[in-house]
């Protein structure tokens, strides 16, 4: 997706902000959590990013290194964001609900802001970046894989632990 030029109308910058605001509002309220469906998003994103990366041929050693760092950074951010997600179990029905915390939403906003800043810089300095443009783009994709997979894994592990404790009759706080 191309970055709007410096003299683009102001509303073109508002569209991503509105999208982020809607995501934050959606995540601020408690939603039903289904452990059995937490694997779907990671599989989809892994397939799409894998397909995208497979179309580029053999990666250089530098690209592999940057992608490994991006994957580790994304996994760390995903785990950290998931740690701030509140998971509750209804003691009577054992239904799980989750709610993103304000800290988790700030992490999402920070990632969005950094990504937009990098895109803006890359669009303005594409000639100076040269081959780094593809490395940065691939790194952003791989970072998102790490973030989504680690977040879903951490939530699944915590939710399973809470659900098992609720079924056993000793419910810790989530």
* Residue 24 in domain: no
* Residue 17 in domain: no
* Residue 69 in domain: yes
Q: Which residues of 87-106 are buried (b: 16+ CB within 10 A; e: fewer)?
A: bbbeeeeeebbbbbeeebbe
* Residue 135 in domain: yes
* Residue 132 in domain: yes
* Residue 32 in domain: no
Q: What is the pLDDT of residues 7-48, one digit of tens each?
A: 556 676 677 778 777 877 777 778 899 999 999 999 999 999
Crossing angle of the two packed helices 102-124 and 11-28, in degrees rounded to 10: 160
Q: Domain of 161?
A: 37-166
CA torsion through residues 58, 61, 63, 69, sign: positive
Instruction: Count CB-CB contacts under 10 A for residue 140.
Output: 17
Distance CA 55, CA 126 (A): 21
Distance CA 16, CA 22 (A): 10
Q: What is the pLDDT of residues 135-145, one digit of tens each?
A: 877 888 899 89
Taking the complete model, does pTM exceed 0.85, yes or no?
no
* Residue 4 in domain: no
Where residue 120 falls among pLDDT bands split at 50, 70, 90? confident
Distance CA 115, CA 121 (A): 10
Separation in Å, CA 156 to CA 35, 103, 106, 107, 137: 6, 19, 22, 20, 29
* Residue 57 in domain: yes
Structural domain count, the chain: 1
Q: Which SS3 state, helix, strand or coil, does residue 89 take?
A: strand
């Amino acid at each position: 997706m191309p970055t709007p030029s410096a003299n683009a109308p102001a509303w073109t910058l508002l569209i991503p902000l509105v999208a982020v605001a809607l995501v934050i509002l959606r995540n601020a309220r408690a939603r039903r959590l289904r452990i059995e469906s937490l694997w779907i998003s990671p599989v989809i994103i892994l397939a799409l990013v894998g397909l995208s990366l497979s179309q580029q041929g053999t990666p250089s050693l530098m690209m592999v290194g940057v992608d490994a760092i991006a994957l580790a950074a994304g996994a760390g951010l995903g785990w950290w964001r998931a740690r701030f997600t509140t998971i509750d179990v209804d003691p009577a029905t054992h239904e799980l609900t989750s709610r993103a915390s304000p800290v988790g939403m700030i992490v999402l906003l920070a990632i969005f802001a950094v990504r937009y800043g990098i895109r803006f810089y890359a669009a303005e300095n594409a000639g100076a970046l040269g081959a780094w443009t593809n490395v940065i783009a691939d790194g952003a994709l791989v970072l998102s894989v790490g973030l989504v997979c680690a977040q879903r894994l951490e939530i699944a592990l915590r939710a399973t632990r809470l659900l098992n404790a609720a079924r056993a009759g000793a419910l810790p706080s989530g």
